[in-house]
Each structure stands twice: as structure tokens, then as C-alpha cells.
Chains A and B, each alone.
Chain A
């Protein structure tokens, strides 16, 4: 089955596909393959996506949502902390959603609309459905932002084969066309985000050496700075003018910016409250305005070089990605930091989508590129942010440092802090800062059943596992008793899976049967898990079951097994919960017994034995 590549951008989105071994962007509107990432919600319930929505931004700013990707996967608190929001937020303490004439929508739903539109247009023009895709994300996106992207795709009816980092996609697009060897910096300045990655390309293997950037820095900031300045020239303050004026000023600012890409000066004229603000902005004046923004690009570049253990002169080239790199000022700035004239042969707006399409093709069973290249292209990616645990005093202990190659697994041992401590809170965080408060909280779970003893006596091994998609699971195990707990990190930005499932159901574009099938599948997996866990427990500690429990549980299991043959997910969910409830007492007694090898999952165990770099791991395994 064929798959597509999607660049879900802050300002623009593109869908591309490999045809006859060549990447092609699908035309979204006559004459352009670029879909503005703008969604307008009308009172009638109609949703307008793309250029038509963008055109309405001035006349209907409240209901026209742009640059929403900046908020994807962020909590309401985080978004408010960023300052000017510009939209009417819904009165909800936990979930961030934006009030429009058509209702309140979360950034996830807005992103899903953009993806849905891309898919619908592609479905109509391609000879297949764009139901499977590789989607790109900024390298600096954290776990919650990645999860949110996945869920938005799910909501749009797209199966995500892989999320890949935008800079990596760009390298893939260039590498495939040129078969380059060497070390490259990928400088990606989009509308709202900045990414810098250092990659090494050898014999068809792309190895990401380091990555960095800023999720709140991009070409929009240039527009904002210019808009502020233009209004100020007209005696107005950007912060106090109406939303419509802000939008209009930014639109003019964007035009001025574009003109300055070619010319040394740009004329501008726009009307605010029947008064015309007009004048000329020179390139030099523009440079002064954006100077502080450009300077913020410097530190991430240095950091990325340092992480890759390279000096700028050891690079073989700098690849430009993102519309904002069209600006000659940005190009000069790049040449200045890296000492290289940047590479920009492929359209910087399309290069990321092309790379995503290449990766989608390579991950497909009937890959075209694999046949052409002999299947030798492989992507070795790294994790962009450090992952760690909270330790005493709110300090972060890093377990998987930034730039670790993925898939990765790393174990670290911890111990108890108090005498007779029988439980331990495991708080998983992501980020580079030392204090938990400055990092992003990903998940919390508790390890119970630690045998009582003096502080520092227990040995708790925590294992972090990151798969090739950069998704994390964490398990903790007390080595003496074998007590174990684990968590697959789920999004922590206000929406839980149930809420997303609810949105899925509400999504009218889905045939109801489809939704039910998916929900049933999910419930089925959960039932299997619970049944299996109970069977394992019974085999081990069956003697702890009372006779009454035995018969009650037996009945529940019988109905559950018959429900698993059916198709109703709610029945399945209810019965699964019932089984958990009626066996809770049993589970509790098992916990109390603190058996040494309960819940043992052999796979995790095997992996653990082989991944730690401790000498014991190399001892021959007894047969």
C-alpha cells in the first residue's frame, strides 16, 4: 500500500508523494501545493481550511485560527505564560480550547482539520487514499507535542507510520537526490519554529549527530516585529489595537518582508480606523528590527555543533529549510555563523514534505525508492531532549541524555530514602534543566511492594525504553522482591485518551462502524491484557483466591470471553472493568505477599539483561 509524506507546518502544510521514484507535492489549490495552516470556523458549522481561511483572517479574526501548531501539545498554563494569545479561550481549567462561532476547538482538533483537508484533496487526485503517512515534526518537539500530532492524525483518519524530525526529512530529500557523504547542518527556520540539526551521511545511512532549536522562534516573529514597528510609526501600540488591526498589520508586515527579500526597500500602506499608515521600510531598518531575533538563533547553533563534537569548519555544508530562509539577511547570517554558503537547491518550502514522502515510501512494502537504491537508505535518529526522573529535592536525574541514538534503552538504579519505605513514586520528566519544576512532566506512576527495610537497602532498577518513533515506556523493578510497575508515557497536556476517543466519535467524517471497530479493537486488546494478567496471577498464586471469588471471577471471565467474540466495545469495556473489580481483593493479597517473581514479563527481562553495560550482562546465560 502506498503512503504519503506530510509536512504539518506552523504556517503552511504540504502533502507529497513519491511517483516514479521522484517526489511530487500534491496541488492543493489551482497553481499551488502549499496549504496555509489556517482554519476558519463558521457559525453554520462549516469549516474552511487553507487560503480561503487565510483571506478571511482580517475580516473575521476571532474565528480564523492560524499558527495553531505552536499550541499543539501544550497545556493552557503554558500557552498563557507565553503572553498574547490573540483568541478567545474557552472557560475550561484543564483543556485549552479556542472559542469560535462554530464552537470551541482544541489545537489538536484544529490540526486535525488541516490534516483532514490535505487527505481529502490528495484522495481526490491520487490513485489511492492517503490513509497512511509519515508526518514531520520539529526536532525539538517534546513527547507531548509528538503524541498530540499523532492524535491529530488519528482524528483525521490517517495512520501515522512514523513521525520524523523535519531537519532529518530535509536531509533525506537532499541525500536521496545527491547521495552525499559528509557532515551537514540543517538550518530550518519556519514560520513558528527553529530547528538546527547536525547529520552525518555515510553510505546511505543518515546518522543524526545532534539536534537543537527553539519551538517559539520563526518568521512570524519577524512579521510581528515589523508590524509593531509600522504601527508605532503611525502612533499606535500593537498591544492595544484591535485584533483585526493586529492581523492587518501582520499581513502588511509579511508583504514588506517578502519585498525586502528582493529589494532594498519596501513601501507600505494600510488603513486603521479610517487613517492611513504609510511609508517606506528599508532593508537596513528591517535588519535592525530582526537583529535580536536572529541573535536568538546563535546559541542553539553553537550547542548543536558542540553536541556533535564538531567545529563549523568540519561541516561539509549547511542545508536551508523553511520559507524564512529565503530572506537574504537570514542567508547571510547562516553563512556568517557556519562559514559556509548555504545549500538551497530544493524549494525550502517543499523540501521537508519531499523527505517525508521518501521516508513513507521506504517504510512501505512496495517501496519504489528501495528498488532504485537497493534498499540501502536508513535513518538513525536521536532523541532531542533528555529524559530523566525526579529524585529527592525536586532534582532531575537524567537517565537517557539528549542526542542518544534511538531505539534506546537505559537502566539506572535507585534506592529508598526512608526506613521501611514500601512504595516509590516514579516521576518521568523531559528537558535539559536541573530542576523538575523547569522540565516537562511526562508521567507518574508508583512502584509498590518494596520489601520493608532500612533506607538505602532496596535496589530499584528503572528502565527507560524509547522505540524508533521516539515514544517512551518506563518500567521500575525492585530487584530483591521482583516487584514491578511500568508505564507507557501518555500525553499530559490536558487531554487524555478517553477525551480523544470521544472526539474521535464526534468526528462526523467517520463512518460510525469504523469508529466502533477501532474502539472494539482497543477494548479487545485491553481485555486480552487483563485476562492474561489474571491467568498468570492465578497460576502463580491461585491459592490466594477464595472459593467465592473463584466462582464469581469464573462467571465474569466466561461472559468476557463471549463478548470478545462479539462487536460491542462498551460491553467489553464494562466486563473488563468488572473483572478487575472482582479480582481486586486477590490482587491486593498478592501484593501483600510481595512475591519475588510476580508479574514477570520475560521479554522486558531478557532485554534488560542484554542492554545494561554491566559486566554481569556478558556472562554466558545458563542453559
Chain B
């Protein structure tokens, strides 16, 4: 067996048969295996490693996977199988959450390409962009009077356009080339981070709309644009 083939196989913990690591259950004794930690979420669900993902295929794969490994299916099995069921089910819930949401999916793809979008040091944004975001927020916050709603909607629409256009660009670049040069990768990471800021502003607009015209300063205070980690956690 080649080295590569060896990496893709392991022994069933129960009957010791050599099986492919991506198999959920042993092909010989049908006992549930541990999920393979080296598998990407795309491979786990058997969908192409692309930004342009077919949601129906993903959802179907997710449901089939849960049907096969959910802890409820293993209530009367051995402790170890029950533990593996919990691991499979947990990891699939996590993978499904990431892959079904475009921004999380893009961030995950960037991660697979070697760029950690959660690392502030590897993704730095220009101060002009941050100032623009800050001004956008300020003008949204300062809106008042009878036309505030109309004006807010106008700003919202322009941000939505920019966000959607940026997301499409990011997606097509991610799917366009197999090997991205490292400076391109950083550029895409920056685009991803910018989109997160824009989305955050959009969420804020929606909140203001829902609350009517009485924005509290408390809401906006927490959105300090110089603290990207607050976006990170909300966003993905």
C-alpha cells in the first residue's frame, strides 16, 4: 500500500479490519467509527469543495448523515459507539452551520487554502476602510426626524448592493483558481473581513428599523470598528 493510501485508511476499533477513514461504519462489522478529523466539511458531506455550493445537495447530505449517526440511533449501543455518534452528530451540525452560510463558507475555504481569517494579524484592513465604516455608522446613528426611515433604507440598499457584489466577487475568485498566490489570498482575506464589517452594519440597520426611531447609544457603542473580534464572534 502506498503511503498516501495508508493515510486514508485505519483499523476498525472493534473488529480491526482495515477500512477507509471516511467510512462512518466499519464495512465488515457495521460498527460506528470515530469521525475522521482530517476530513474537511466538504468531504464529510461529499459535496464539491467550492463556494458555489448546491444547497439542496448539502442539506440532503446533512440529513442523511444525521440519520446514520445521530445519538438517538444509538441509544442501546455500546458506550464507545454512543460517543462516536455524539462526535459525528456534533461535527456535522458544525459543518452544516459553516457551509450553509456564505460568509462562514468563504472563511472556511480561505482557511483550507491556508489563511486564518480569525487571526487579526494575517488580515489587516486599511484605515481608510475603517474610517469609512465609522462614518457610515455615525451617519446612520445621527439620522432623525420624519425622513430618517427613508434615508436609512436608502443607505441600507446601497450597502446591500455593495455587500452582495463583494460576496459574488469573493466567491468567484475562490472558485476560479486552484492555487492562489499568497498575496491574492491575503487580498481575498481582506475582502472577506470588509464584507463582515458591511454585514455588521446591515444588522445594525435592521435592528434600528425594528426598534423604530429611538436608537440607544448602547447599541452602537459595542460596535467599535477597531475591535474586529466583536464582529468575528457574531458573524461566523
Contact = CB atoms under 8 A, between A and B. Distances in A.
Interface of A: 161-162, 202-205, 207, 362-363, 365, 376, 378-380, 397-398, 404-410, 412, 434, 465, 467-468, 603, 606-607, 609-611, 613-615, 617-621, 623
A468 B104 contact: no
Interface string B133-173: 00000000000000000000000000000000000000000
Contact of A618 (B89, B96, B112, B222): B112
Given A603-B83, A623-B7, A409 B34 contact: no
Given A205-B67, A362-B72, A620-B7, 5 more contacts: A202-B63, A603-B83, A606-B34, A620-B38, A623-B7
A406 B93 contact: yes
A383 B69 CA distance: 19
B89 A610 contact: no
Contacts of A207: 63
B222 to A, nearest CB: 8
B71 A610 contact: no
Contact of A468 (B70, B91, B111): B70
Contacts, number: 97
A408 B93 contact: yes
A610 B37 contact: yes
A610 B90 CA distance: 10
Contacts of A610: 35, 37, 87, 91
Given A378-B72, A406-B93, A613 B67 contact: no
A591 to B, nearest CB: 29
Contacts of B233: 397-398, 412
Given A205-B66, A365-B76, A609-B37, A407 B89 contact: yes
Contact of B111 (A380, A611, A614, A623): A614
Which 7 pairs of residues, A with B, have the shortest CB-CB distance?
A615-B111, A610-B37, A405-B93, A620-B38, A468-B71, A407-B90, A365-B76
B236 interface: yes
B7 A378 contact: no
A351 B187 CA distance: 55
Given A407-B93, A412-B233, A611-B90, A621 B38 contact: yes
Nearest to B10: A623
B47 interface: no
A548 B234 CA distance: 54
Most buried by A among B6, B86, B90, B118: B90
B38 A409 contact: no
B38 A619 contact: yes
B71 A467 contact: yes
B108 interface: yes
Contacts of A623: 6-7
Given A378-B67, A407-B89, A618-B40, A613 B72 contact: no
Interface in B64-95: 66-67, 70-73, 75-76, 83, 86-87, 89-91, 93-94
A455 to B, nearest CB: 16
Interface string B101-125: 0001001101110111010000000
Contact of B89 (A162, A468, A617, A620): A468
Nearest to A623: B7
25 contacts: A207-B63, A362-B72, A363-B72, A363-B75, A378-B66, A397-B233, A405-B93, A405-B96, A409-B90, A410-B94, A467-B71, A468-B72, A606-B34, A610-B87, A610-B91, A611-B94, A613-B41, A613-B94, A613-B104, A613-B107, A614-B111, A615-B115, A615-B116, A618-B40, A618-B111
Most buried by B among A408, A409, A610: A610
A334 B76 CA distance: 41
Q: Is the interface of A mostly helix, strand, loop or mixed?
A: mixed
A619 B36 CA distance: 11
Most buried by B among A376, A407, A409, A619: A407
A620 B8 CA distance: 10
B98 interface: yes
Contacts of A434: 222
A410 B110 CA distance: 20
A548 to B, nearest CB: 38
B97 interface: yes
B147 to A, nearest CB: 26
Nearest to B117: A615
Contacts of B115: 615
B118 A407 contact: no
Contacts of B34: 606
Contacts of A468: 70-72, 86, 89
A260 B212 CA distance: 37
Contacts of A619: 38
Given A398-B233, A620-B38, A615 B114 contact: yes
Contacts of A378: 66-67, 70, 72-73
Given A610-B37, A618-B112, A404 B66 contact: no
B70 A613 contact: no
Given A603-B83, A615-B112, A380 B37 contact: no
A398 B234 CA distance: 8
Nearest to B98: A613
Most buried by A among B72, B89, B91, B114: B72
Contacts of B35: 610
B38 A614 contact: no
A404 B97 contact: yes
Interface in B38-68: 38-41, 63, 66-67
Contacts of A161: 75
A613 B44 CA distance: 13
A404 B89 CA distance: 13
A405 B63 CA distance: 12
A365 B74 CA distance: 10
A407 B112 contact: no
A230 B214 CA distance: 39
B60 to A, nearest CB: 9
A465 B89 CA distance: 12
A613 B38 contact: no
A380 B66 contact: yes
Interface in B184-234: 222, 233
Given A202-B63, A406-B93, A408-B94, A621 B37 contact: yes
A408 B88 CA distance: 10
B145 to A, nearest CB: 26
B71 A203 contact: no
Contact of B236 (A405, A613, A615): A613
Contacts of B110: 615
A197 B1 CA distance: 52
Contacts of B222: 434
A415 to B, nearest CB: 11
Contacts of B90: 407-409, 465, 607, 611
Nearest to B67: A378
Contacts of A621: 37-38
Contacts of A613: 41, 94, 98, 104, 107-108, 111, 236
A511 to B, nearest CB: 26
